[in-house]
Amino acid sequence: MSTLKQINDYYKINNELDWNRIIDDFTPYINTIIKNMSNDKLTYEDKEEILLDVFFILWKNKENILTSLNSYIAGITRNLVREKCKKKKITYDISNYEDVLTDSSLDMSTDERVEILQIENSFKNLKEIDFKIVNMFYYSSKSIKDIAKELNISKFNVANRLSRIRKKIKKQLNIGGKNEK
């Protein structure tokens, strides 16, 4: 049985989660939890990182959501704020927000988040066009041909940029070898 059945159809599009809508609707909610739990002592960058982590963890766990989206997101947010506040030695409020989940039910993907954050930081100066191409290819699953048409550049340009960025990311992930059998 698809666990997405637990989620209101309002947050679905073509049987997948509608991330644009989820991000629009839940960003203020998450920000409120962060502000209240951390006594508003976290920096803007910390809050943004938590926000991104919430949606990332939601994405990783989307097949395992057994409760309402509100509760699930609140649970993730609470755990992340606690994690961040502990790291920064900031006191935090442990009040519950709706029906929060226990820690053990969530895959917080901690190692992967750390890895991805390091890679994100190294791509701070990535050109906007490269950003767009990577997102269109890997997130929106568009073809090289469609991306080239939409951005009005050659297919070769698209493939070349994708290849370069992919190699840079792979190098940082230390994945794959240079040699082939």
Partner 1 sequence: MKNNENIKNKFKFRIAISKIKEEDTNIMNKKFNNMVKKGCGIAACLIVVSSGVVFAKDIENYFRSLFNNSSKSIDVAVENGYIQKEEKDYTYDKNIGIKVDNLVLDDLNLDISFNFEIKEENVKSIRLNNFIITNDNEKIVYQSEFKTAETLEELPLYNSVNWINEPVKLTDTTFTDSILFGLRPEKEDFQELHFDIKSVDIVYTDDKREVIDGTWKFNVTINDEMRQSENVIYTLAESNEYIESCTATMSNTGTIIELTSKVKIPTDRFIQDSIFLSSNSATYEGGYIDFNEERMKIHFENVGNFIENADILNLHLGFFDTTVVLIKEST
Contact 107, 76 (CB under 8 A): no
As given in the structure block, the two tokens for residue 73 are 């997101």
Q: Indicate if the alpha-carbon torsion angle 55, 53, 34, 42 is positive or negative.
A: negative
Q: Is 116 in the site for partner 1 (CB under 8 A)?
A: yes
Query: In the range 28-47, which residues lie near partner 1 by CB under 8 A?
Result: none
Give the one residue of 16, 48, 93, 103 binding partner 1; rule: CB under 8 A: 48
Stretch of 22-30, 62-70, 75-83, 92-100 contacting partner 1, by CB under 8 A: 22-30
Tell me how far CA of residue 107 lies from CA of 28, 58, 71, 104, 117, in angstroms. 23, 9, 15, 8, 17
Among the listed residues 143, 149, 150, 171, the single contact to partner 1 using CB under 8 A = 143
Helix (H, G, I), strand (E, B) or coil at 13: strand
Determine the residue type at 165: I
Question: Which span sits near partner 1 by CB under 8 A: 33-41, 62-70, 100-108, 116-124?
Answer: 116-124
- Give CA torsion, residues 66, 72, 78, 81, to 10 deg: 120
**Per rule CB under 8 A, is residue 170 in the interface with partner 1?**
yes
Residues in the site for partner 1, rule: CB under 8 A?
A: 19-20, 23-24, 27, 48, 51-52, 55-56, 59-60, 112, 115-116, 119-120, 123, 131, 134-135, 137-141, 143-144, 155-156, 159-160, 162-164, 166-167, 169-170, 173, 175-181
